[in-house]
Amino acid sequence: MSDFIVALGLAIALEGCCYAAAPGAMKDFLKTVGGVGDNRLRQIGLGAMAIGVVLVWFIRG
């Protein structure tokens, strides 16, 4: 459970870095994402999730 909390904290910190470093670019990105269809966003999310699981699987073995 502690690994999950650490991973969640890291994800939040990385997202915060994006907003702090380039707030205008993040606003533009969010506007772009708002125009993408639900099915496409679902595909992107599933792909990102799969990459994350495989990455953790390789690292944690």
Domain locations in the chain?
A: 2-60
How many residues appear in the chain? 61
Instruction: Give 2-58 pLDDT, tens digit per residue.
Output: 888 999 999 999 999 999 999 999 999 999 999 999 999 999 999 999 999 999 899
Q: How far apart are CA 51 and CA 61, in angstroms?
A: 15
- The answer for residues whose C-beta is within 8 angstroms of residue 36's C-beta and 6 or more apart is 44
Q: What is the Cα 13 distance to its own chain's centre?
A: 11
Q: Select from 52, 61, 42 the least CA-distant residue to 7.
A: 52
Model-wide pTM > 0.75? no
